[in-house]
Amino acid sequence: RKELIQTLNELTVFPFELTSQLLPYMQERRQGKIIFITSATPFRGLPNYSPYAVARGATNAMALTFAQELARYNIQVNAVAPNFIESPTYFPQHLLDNPETYEKIVRPIPLKRLGKPEEPAELVAFLASERADYITGQIMPFAGGWA
């Protein structure tokens, strides 16, 4: 229970509070972009990661709801939901350097590789641009086909 509450506070409550503090400025300007970085985990689930999946799923739902509520102010709200992205936090180099371990890591990914950090960053940059003014209320899995 303690882990769930802490995870919800960090991954759902904090983004909600931060967004709520910024909204008046966006509403006054009648434009804005909100892009949450969540996770593809809620789309499929991941054993032993229930609190994480619950919190990220809640943030995905928050993005969908904010998109509906804020469209009238010309504020677009989306989420990029990565999984299996190269990161020393999740995939330390010693794991990636071991061919057997690397093969186990990428086995569930249809593209059979980890994503590079700049790949979801490009999507975020696009969503933040004027070229994405007609995109709102989307949760975009970014996981090499895993989700």
CB neighbours (10 Å) of residue 73?
15
Catalytic residue, chosen from 25, 52, 90, 102, is 52
d(CA 48, CA 60): 20
Residue type, 60: N
Helix (H) / strand (E) containing 70 = helix 50-70
Q: Give the full edge-to-edge strand order of the sheet including 75-82.
A: 32-37, 75-82, 138-142
Catalytic site residue 52? yes
- Residues with a catalytic annotation lie at 52
